[in-house]
Amino acid sequence: MIVIGIDPGLARTGYGVLSTGGRSPVPLTYGCIETGGDRIHEERLLEIHTRISDLFDEYDPGWVAVERLFFSRNTTSAMQVSEARGVLLLAAAQHGVPVAEYTPNQVKQAVTGSGRADKHQMQEMMRRLLRLEEVPRPDDAADGLAIALCHINMVQLR
């Protein structure tokens, strides 16, 4: 089975695609969808939708795992992340892919054993657990991988 993990954001949406079934999950691809701040808001959302839809078409996932929105003091940023999540959820529904949602602390706990892990610890754990040659960059891509791995660990899809 294939799981796509997504760390939503308007400027940068991180993703990681993992294949299960063997002894441990295998990374198929990871990266970021970056939308330029010089473009209008609607075009940026459309780009996120289009590129995530392309990933769904290419990898035919059995699940998509998405980071649950964490509200902070910056409501403008929270609204933009919420809108990006909306287009991601729309793409999943259009492709008939079930969605699981996890909080940042759930992801950190599932991957590192500590809900207080920082970005560098998460990147290093992804490198080790997925046997990558180097730390996945940027950290949003590592987060996408971590979210996918969290889902695999939570439902024991191995």
CATH number of the domain at 118, please. Answer: 3.30.420.10
**Residue ranges making up the domain that contains 119:** 2-157
Residue from 38, 54, 140, 143 carrying the catalytic annotation: 140
Residue from 43, 67, 83, 143 carrying the catalytic annotation: 67
Residue from 7, 57, 101, 118 carrying the catalytic annotation: 7
Question: Which residues touch 63 (CB under 8 Å, ≥6 apart)?
Answer: 1, 2, 3, 4, 97, 98, 99, 100, 151, 157
| Tens digits of residue pLDDT in 94-142 | 999 999 999 998 999 988 887 788 888 889 999 999 999 999 989 899 9
- Return d(Cα 22, Cα 92) in angstroms, integer: 25
Extract the tokens encoding 91.
């793409």
Pairing of strands 12-19, 2-7: antiparallel
- Cα-Cα-Cα-Cα torsion 20, 13, 56, 2, nearest 10 degrees, comes to 0
- Return d(Cα 44, Cα 84) in angstroms, integer: 9
| Tens digits of residue pLDDT in 40-95 | 999 999 999 999 999 999 999 999 999 987 666 666 778 888 899 999 999 999 99
Split into its structural domains, the chain has a count of 1
140 is catalytic: yes
